[in-house]
Amino acid sequence: MPFSRRRTLERVEAAPTARRDSAWSALGPGERTSLIAMAAIVLVAIIGPTLMPYSPIIPSGSQLLPPLSSGHVLGTDVLGMDMATRLVAGMQRSLLAAVLVTAVSAAIGTFIGVVAGFRGGWLDSALMRFTDLFLAFPAMIIAMAIAAAIGQSLGSAMIGIIVVWWPLYARLVRGEVRRVVALPHVQAARVSGVRGWRLLWRHVVPAVMPTVVVTASLDIGAVVMTLAALSFIGLGTPAPAPELGRMASDGMKYFLNAWWVAVLPSVTIGLVAFVFNYAGDALRVVLRRTGV
Amino acid sequence: MADTTVLTVSDLTVTYRGRGRVVAAVSDVSLTIDAGRCLGLVGESGSGKSTIGAAVQGIIPADGTAEATGRIAIAGRELAPLTDPAWSEVRGREVTSVFQDPMRSLDPTMTIGRMLNRYTGSAEASVAALERVQIRRAGEVLKKYPHQLSGGMRQRVMIALALAPGPRLLIADEPTTALDVSVQAEVLGVLRESIEDAGCAVLFVTHDLGVARHMCDDIAVMKDGTVVESGPAEDVIARPSDAYTRRLMASRITLDTDRTRPVGAPEGAVVASMEDVLRGLERPALDVAAAWSAGDLTWQDFTGPTASVGAASGREDVHLVEHVTRASLAVNEVNKTYSTRVRGRRVDNHVLKDVSFEIGYREAVALVGESGSGKSTLLRIAGGIETADTGTVDAQGVAGEGTQVVFQDAGASLTPWRTVDELLRERIEHTRTGRGLSRAQMRDMARSTLELVGLDDSVLDARPTQLSGGQQQRVAIARAVVVPPSVLLCDEPTSALDVSVACSVLNLINLLRHSLGISIMFVTHDLAAARLIADRVLVMTGGEIVETVPAERLAQDITTDYGRRLVDAVLA
């Protein structure tokens, strides 16, 4: 051989770590902070309650101690339960519920949206009209009605929210699927002979997932707020279980002489919602880097 | 002669910084253009030509993403290479521009008249301005919005707008690249005449040496941010002194290019593929690169035995047939209608009307036609992406399996999150050849096919986003031929590529065609490329095949109006 074949072939320089590094470096300082803050909140929600010295549902000191009292950094509530402990426990409860609600809504909505968008035709019309049915009612009212019907508990509030939440995902995903199906790479896969579920799973769904994940992470904040709102009006967790919305609602009565009992849970709700919203945007920047 | 020099650029260096990377887009470039002269800035993508175009309009942002040093002087006025307030007095008055895509640069909310009257002052003057760019019934055009005009008309309006303020310098950045090939020549003619009338200096940015020669007095060839060669257009074209310019020149294909041989200068990857083919055919090894340079290499040297099934897959059961009569692709009276609803009423668009043709074994046929002629729909039906309303498509040739498609935008046709190995395996799995093969066997097939298209096996585990445009197109071709199809359908596979890359893709398609014995249907706007690949050229208009011309006699025999315009569009 007059030529060394190896030398003339083109190579790619694979740099497995380069992608992750550049995704992080594409973020601004605000976005980085939000992701770190989100991680911190999740960490506190997971391990926080076990580290707290008190129980969230047993009084541990004098009633209505102001913040910065000795032994009670954030004070105590009207029954003498430690505020910090209750806030951390409430955060865990709220976040867990919100993540569950969002995940279940996203899963149902994604499934229906994918089927409708990919199959098209009468099935698409039928599924979408069904979806519209749920979208037509005011979300909060339906959630209240369902929660009131099944009885006052966190579970019924969650079910109520799921019922009104999934149609948004179904809509979103159906649109995305229809867009992606028309892209050249899906047509090319069809030409290669890939059909049906395999085509959907390998070539379509991965393009839709970033949108779903970003929307879900943005939604977690909103679901925390909605759950809190349902609890606030008395439809969520019954007392004395620590739930942020309930705590804010109960604390309102003592607002004038013990502001912290109402304000601290409200601030916590706002903080969680804000951080998750901002982190969702950061996540979008990271995930959008794949193109499609 | 300082008073006649309109643009002076000296020692311009532009560096972009983003995500921790610093890219020198332009380094130490100096240019001058005198009044009434046209300088062509020619180069491939990434050569820095558009950055210079942006710098002399003062539209490189001063927000820290770019750094620029050097001097720019326009009509004796010194300007900073980055945006600063002084530019706003110059831009749109002394310097105007015609961009690539007129749809994006015209304001969609304004009529042509409103845009133009701002510069001309009156409707009469605007009519005169439009007439200067050879727009007939200018009065009516003034009342229209950009979306109501054709691409060619829009670009004429753009030219009229750019010349209306009486600029000293006009920047034309790839002004015809986004237009249908058949109107490119007209628009270039209009541009040429109008700038001669206006007497301004012109900086003409293009990737196409042929267009540059047609339009420009002087040419500067750019590569990697520097000017490698410059001088009077005829000198640069006729006697290129730089190796890169020579390669660029050799990559240009015209209607006179020899279609029996590989085009352009020998290129490593294609040479490797050729050696691979010769070894596969058990022909004596020869110094391919030397033979190619000497012009001794013809496609005949790579023609495999008739109907050698599975040449790329290395299978043993290669069976030989003496004479093949069965067509590889038979399209029989295919009809296709799209229906849309406009304001509640059903509008039918009859895209294909009783289209019939055959592509023989080993034959290559090009399908040309303007946008909307139905050629792409035909390809999609032949490729099984869409179905015909009536009529049949038969792709059960004697050799190969079915049809495969090479898309225009190779990058978009490869699923970004799948590896090259997975993409190729998917095709193998869904063929008769691939039935019962193990994963390792399929990987071997993929590897040898990648070698055949000039890619190392490190590409196997790469994802498409890690590859360059040319590499992506080769992966797309590899996927299409890893199990040789009966017919390879190519949808403008080169129009998105730089000339040198396009050249190597054309060579590769020709090589595969001859060595694997696959038939080709080549859909394109570019008659020169069509002629290079195809034996016959079919011209489509309004959903029908109106003309069939043998490739050898394309320029002489083509008679239809559209065909003639395509011939004119291939600027010699």
- A192-242 pLDDT, tens per residue? 989 888 999 999 998 898 889 888 888 888 888 888 788 777 777 776 777
The answer to whether B525 and B368 have CB atoms below 8 angstroms apart is: yes
Is pLDDT of B223 > 70? yes
CB-based contact, B421 to chain A, within 8 Å: no
Q: Where are the beta strands (DSSP E) in chain A?
A: none
Chain B residue with Cα closest to A4: B272
Chain A residue with Cα closest to B383: A191
Task: Tell if the CB–CB gap between B467 and A3 is shorter than 8 Å.
Answer: no
Phi-psi label, residue A108: left if phi above 0, alpha if psi -120 to 50, beta otherwise: alpha
Mean local confidence (pLDDT), B13-32? 82
Residue A15 lies in a domain: no
Task: Specify the DSSP class assigned to residue A227.
Answer: H
Is pLDDT of B309 > 50? no
Residue A240: asked if its preceding bond is cis (omega within 30°), the reply is yes
Mean local confidence (pLDDT), B378-395? 89
Q: What is the pLDDT of residue A30?
A: 80
How many independent structural domains does chain A possess? 1
Higher pLDDT, residue B95 or B434? B95
- B137-158 pLDDT, tens per residue? 888 889 999 888 888 889 999 9
CATH of the domain at A101: 1.10.3720.10
Identify the band that residue B323 occupies on the pLDDT scale cut at 50, 70 and 90. Answer: low
Question: Using CB atoms and an 8 Å cut-off, which of residues 354-393 of chain B contact chain A?
Answer: 380, 383-385
| Distance, CA of A204 to CA of B401 (rounded, Å) | 26
Is pLDDT of B314 > 50? no
Q: What is the pLDDT of residue A247?
A: 81
Q: What is the pLDDT of residue B1?
A: 42
Q: What is the pLDDT of residue B19?
A: 59
Q: Which residues in chain A are contacts of B446 at CB distance < 8 A?
A: none
Long-range contacts of A114-122 (CB under 8 A, 24+ apart): A114/A173, A114/A174, A114/A177, A114/A200, A114/A204, A114/A205, A114/A208, A116/A170, A116/A174, A116/A177, A117/A173, A117/A174, A117/A175, A117/A176, A117/A177, A117/A178, A117/A181, A118/A177, A118/A181, A118/A200, A118/A204, A120/A178
Structure tokens at B269: 């990857």
Backbone angles phi, psi at B31, to 5 degrees: -145, 155
**List of residues 6+ apart from A212 with CB closer than 8 A:** A106, A110, A169, A172, A173
Task: Parse chain B into domains and list their residue ranges.
Answer: 5-251, 329-569
The label of the residue with tokens 């050879």 reads B134
Residue B300 CB-density burial (10 A; 0-12 exposed, 13-18 middle, 19+ buried) = exposed
Q: What is the pLDDT of residue B120?
A: 85
Q: Are strands B201-206 and B218-223 parallel, antiparallel or unpaired?
A: unpaired
Structure tokens at B202: 């012109």
Residue A250 lies in a domain: yes
Angle between helices A139-150 and A205-232 (to 10 degrees): 60
Q: What is the pLDDT of residue B264?
A: 82
Q: What is the pLDDT of residue A245?
A: 79
CB-based contact, B426 to chain A, within 8 Å: yes
Identify the band that residue B311 occupies on the pLDDT scale cut at 50, 70 and 90. Answer: very low
Mean local confidence (pLDDT), B47-53? 87
Task: Tell if the CB–CB gap between A183 and B412 is shorter than 8 Å.
Answer: yes
**How many alpha carbons fall within 13 Å on the CB side of residue A114?**
21
- B490-502 pLDDT, tens per residue? 998 887 777 778 8
* Range from A169-173, A225-229, B124-128, B299-303 that averages highest in pLDDT: A169-173
Q: Where are the beta strands (DSSP E) in B360-510?
A: 364-368, 390-394, 403-406, 487-491
CB-based contact, A182 to chain B, within 8 Å: no
Task: Tell if the CB–CB gap between B456 and A25 is shorter than 8 Å.
Answer: no
Which of the residues B17, B297, B414, B415 would you substitute to probe the A interface, choosing the one with the greatest number of A C-beta atoms within 10 Å? B415
The answer to whether B137 and B145 have CB atoms below 8 angstroms apart is: no
**List of residues 6+ apart from B45 with CB closer than 8 A:** B207, B469, B498
Is pLDDT of B65 > 90? no
The answer to whether A152 and A122 have CB atoms below 8 angstroms apart is: no
Q: What is the pLDDT of residue A6?
A: 42
Residue A215 lies in a domain: yes
Chain B residue with Cα closest to A21: B19
Which of the residues B17, B22, B376, B456 would you substitute to probe the A interface, choosing the one with the greatest number of A C-beta atoms within 10 Å? B456
Residue span of the structural domain in which A96 resides: 83-290
CB-based contact, A129 to chain B, within 8 Å: no
Task: Tell if the CB–CB gap between A202 and B415 is shorter than 8 Å.
Answer: yes
Distance from CA of B461 to the nearest CA of A (A): 9
The answer to whether A191 and A253 have CB atoms below 8 angstroms apart is: no
Is pLDDT of B522 > 60? yes
CATH of the domain spanning B329-569: 3.40.50.300
Please give the angle made by the CA atoms of A8, A13 and A18, to the nearest 5 degrees: 170
Mean local confidence (pLDDT), B445-449? 90
Q: What is the pLDDT of residue B537?
A: 92
Identify the band that residue B3 occupies on the pLDDT scale cut at 50, 70 and 90. Answer: low
- B226-283 pLDDT, tens per residue? 999 999 988 888 888 888 888 888 888 888 888 888 888 887 778 888 888 888 888 8
- Residue B281's SS3 state is coil
First to last CA, chain A: 44
Task: Tell if the CB–CB gap between B416 and A184 is shorter than 8 Å.
Answer: no
Q: Which residues in chain B are contacts of A187 at CB distance < 8 A?
A: 380, 385, 405, 407, 413
Is pLDDT of B316 > 60? no
Q: What is the pLDDT of residue B20?
A: 61
The architecture CATH gives domain B5-251: 3-Layer(aba) Sandwich (3.40)
Q: Report DSSP letters for A253-279, one per residue.
A: GGTTT-THHHHHHHHHHHHHHHHHHHH
Q: Where are the beta strands (DSSP E) in A19-134?
A: none
Which ranges of chain A have pLDDT less than 50? 1-7, 14-20
CB-based contact, B487 to chain A, within 8 Å: no
Is pLDDT of B521 > 90? yes
The answer to whether B348 and B374 have CB atoms below 8 angstroms apart is: no
Is pLDDT of B421 > 90? yes
The label of the residue with tokens 């649109």 reads A175
Task: Specify the DSSP class assigned to residue B535.
Answer: S
The answer to whether A272 and A221 have CB atoms below 8 angstroms apart is: yes
Give the range among A63-77, B161-175, B262-276, B433-447 with minimum mean pLDDT.
A63-77
Distance from CA of B379 to the nearest CA of A (A): 12
Task: Tell if the CB–CB gap between B407 and A10 is shorter than 8 Å.
Answer: no
Query: Which of A12, A191, A202 faces B459 most closely, judged by CB atoms?
Result: A12
Q: What is the pLDDT of residue B277?
A: 84
CB-based contact, B488 to chain A, within 8 Å: no
Query: Which of A6, A188, A291 faces B413 most closely, judged by CB atoms?
Result: A188
The label of the residue with tokens 């939000």 reads A34
The answer to whether B113 and B126 have CB atoms below 8 angstroms apart is: yes
**Averaged pLDDT score across all residues of chain B:** 85
* Range from A84-88, B21-25, B421-425, B524-528 that averages highest in pLDDT: B421-425
Question: Using CB atoms and an 8 Å cut-off, which of residues 192-211 of chain B contact chain A?
Answer: none
User: Cα dist. B544→A55, A142, B331, B334, B541 in Å?
Assistant: 82, 58, 13, 10, 6
Angle between helices A260-287 and A29-51 (to 10 degrees): 130
Q: What is the pLDDT of residue B45?
A: 79
